[in-house]
Amino acid sequence: MALIVIAGVYDCQSFAHVDYVANHMSQTLPNFKIHRIVKSQEKWQVWLDKVCKKHNWSHHKSPLVWKEPAMRGGDAVYIGGASEFSEYCYEYYGFTCYFDKNQKQFFVEENIQHYQHEQTQRAQVRLKQIYRKVCITGATSSHTGLLLTELLQLPELTLKDGMRVFLHDPSGGKDKLRSFVQDLRVFGARAGVHCVAIIEQLPLALKSCDLFIVLQGVHRCGGQTLQEFLEDNHNQMSELGQVFDMHAPAHCRVIVAASNDTPTCFNASVLVDNMKNHSAKNVMVVTADLGLRALPTLADLTGLSLQDLAVPPVWGFIGDHFLVIVISHNWGWDPQFIGRSNS
């Protein structure tokens, strides 16, 4: 007893015809067994070239049919395409069948539905895997490399099946993103990162996302008024917030950590305003780096050494005006403020 292997593109009419005939014969003939290999058009050519190279065959289109011993993995015997398979069925089994165009199109539509169902089932299996999914937008930022190496060392972020990181940037910058991918694949493998990828469609990255890091923001141009500067950022963050609200799960956390020449706190506020289905408590703005810069000044004011000082809290709208506040715990002392204006 031999096993007939039929392979092809799921929406190919010739493959659908062969698939239907082979399935019918397997149900009516006791010694006729089949194995299906179904590919998308995008993956077909690479797969076909690999198979032909392995068996030293010359075949150029869907479908591809060959014969193996009853147990898969034995020596493969090339049959050919749709025409050759029809000849094979007639020669060995006396079986012939003809279908008109409408019938063949019906077979194609059945194959498309079956393929889509299989893809949905596989996606559901992948969703059951326990891994942390992190998406970074604005990933061409100079902060990305340092931020990721720090995040990847946090054991709380890595779950049983590891972590997956997706890099996105609306401005493109694929060369820079590729360099991050290469670095992360080396460093990340040790930190439990099983996937690092560049993704162009942000909604796809946000699906089942656990942590969304926003590094994008509009920088202030020379001669631009504060009103124009904030309007540009408002427009960008409004669109981003709406996309996030539509596609991200409710549990997803958001970290806004753009460079300090963008209005980070303002941008976070706009994001929250456009997130109708998510809690504002899930959004955090990173400002501790600004507090670090104030430590030398605080050491001079207090007479304490740097190692005796904690990072002070930062207040205000980063990118416009902000205050680094130092509160004395001695009774009768007033708070001291160190202020700075970016305008």
**Co-location of 60 and 206 in the same domain:** no
- 144 and 120 in a common domain: no
The 10s digit of each residue's pLDDT in 9-19 is: 999 999 998 99
> Which of the listed residues 286, 301, 322 is the one where a domain comes to its end?
286
At how many degrees (to 10) do helices 13-28 and 82-93 cross?
20
Which of 105, 125, 145 corresponds to the end of one domain?
125
Question: Are residues 120 and 245 both part of a single domain?
Answer: no
Cross-strand pairs, 255: 213, 284
Same-domain status, 281 and 133: yes
pTM here?
0.52
Q: How far apart are the first and last CA of the chain?
A: 82
Same domain? For 237 and 204 the reply is yes
pLDDT interval class at 316 (50, 70, 90): low
pLDDT tens digits along 29-71 = 888 888 889 999 989 999 999 999 999 999 999 999 999 876 5
pLDDT in tens, 137-178: 988 887 777 777 777 777 777 676 677 888 898 887 778 888
Q: What is the structure's pLDDT at 39?
A: 92
Residues 298 and 267 in one domain: no
Residues 19 and 30 in one domain: yes
What is the strand order of the sheet 336-341 is part of?
314-317, 321-326, 336-341
Q: Which CATH number fits the domain that encloses residue 16?
A: 3.40.30
Of the residues 88, 109, 125, which one is the last residue of a structural domain?
125
Say yes or no: 152 and 282 in one domain: yes
Q: Is the pLDDT of residue 233 over 60?
A: yes
Mean pLDDT in the chain? 79
Angle in degrees, 0-180, between the axes of helices 101-127 and 13-28, rounded to the nearest 10:
90
Judge if 282 and 147 occupy the same domain: yes
Q: What are phi and psi of 252, to 5 degrees?
A: -65, 130
Q: What does the alpha-carbon distance between residue 266 and residue 260 come to, in Å, rounded to a whole number? A: 12
Give the residue numbers spanning the domain of 302: 289-341
Task: Read off the pLDDT of each residue in 204-221 and give the average, rounded to a whole number.
Answer: 88
16 vs 96: CA distance, rounded Å:
16
**What total number of domains does the chain contain?**
3
Please tell me whether residues 180 and 312 are part of one structural domain.
no
- CATH (domain of 270): 3.40.50.720
Q: Contact, 192 vs 163, CB < 8 A?
A: yes
State how far the Cα of 199 lies from the Cα of 169, in Å rounded to an integer.
8
Same domain? 213 vs 115? no
Looking at residue 9, its pLDDT comes to 93
Q: Let me know whether 315 and 303 are in one domain.
A: yes
Q: Could you give the count of Cα atoms lying within 13 Å of 62 in the half-sphere of its Cβ?
A: 24
